[in-house]
């Protein structure tokens, strides 16, 4: 496995598992899934995602029924870059929080270095808190 992927999984996967366990106890009616795996295998942007998802019961298809906290890594075969954010699913797509608010496309994502990983590690609690608040609220904010 790629060393960048190994490091990101070692840093964040255990914390996401603990978060899921805690949230399952606090919100037994909701479904929490932790995942990790390759993405972009048919593109030049070979990547890997690590994340947690909350699936909420919904009767209305016009309202998002899931929110995720995801760390995405791209360009693993060249110069790996990454991003982390908390985002509602379709149809909302609302971003609750991001590691770097000014990085809208993967071209703007920071390169994976020890310094940027440390920055993510220290700001990760902010993303966890945003995920917790989104789960507690149960829907994207109204605009």
pLDDT in tens, 7-33: 999 999 999 999 999 999 999 999 999
Q: Is the pLDDT of residue 34 over 80?
A: yes
What pLDDT is stored for residue 59 in this prediction? 66
Question: 59 φ, ψ to 5°?
Answer: -100, -20
Nearest of 106, 103, 100, 93 to residue 126 by alpha carbon: 100
- Per-residue pLDDT tens digits for 85-134: 999 999 899 999 999 988 777 788 999 999 999 999 999 999 999 999 99
Say if residues 72 and 81 touch (Cβ distance below 8 Å). no
Half-sphere exposure of residue 114, counting CA atoms within 13 Å on the CB side?
A: 0
The DSSP output letter for 103 is: -
Give, in order, the Cα–Cα distances in Å from 128 to each of 69, 70, 78, 135.
Answer: 8, 10, 29, 11
Matching residue, tokens 């809208």:
104
Nearest of 20, 22, 23 to residue 136 by alpha carbon: 23
Alpha-carbon gap, residue 3 to 76, rounded angstroms? 10
Q: Is the pLDDT of residue 42 over 90?
A: no
């Amino acid at each position: 496995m790629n060393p960048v992927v190994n490091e990101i999984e070692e840093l964040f996967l255990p914390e996401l598992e603990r978060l899921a366990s805690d949230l399952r106890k606090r919100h037994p009616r909701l479904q929490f899934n932790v995942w990790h795996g390759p993405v972009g295998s048919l593109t030049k942007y070979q990547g890997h995602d690590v994340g947690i998802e909350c699936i909420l019961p919904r009767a209305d298809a016009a309202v998002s029924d899931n929110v995720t906290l995801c760390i995405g890594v791209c360009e693993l075969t060249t110069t790996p870059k990454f991003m982390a954010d908390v985002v509602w699913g379709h149809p909302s797509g609302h971003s609750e929080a991001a590691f770097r608010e000014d990085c809208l496309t993967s071209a703007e994502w920071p390169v994976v270095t020890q310094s940027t990983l440390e920055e993510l590690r220290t700001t990760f609690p902010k993303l966890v808190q945003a995920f917790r608040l989104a789960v507690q609220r149960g829907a994207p904010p109204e605009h």
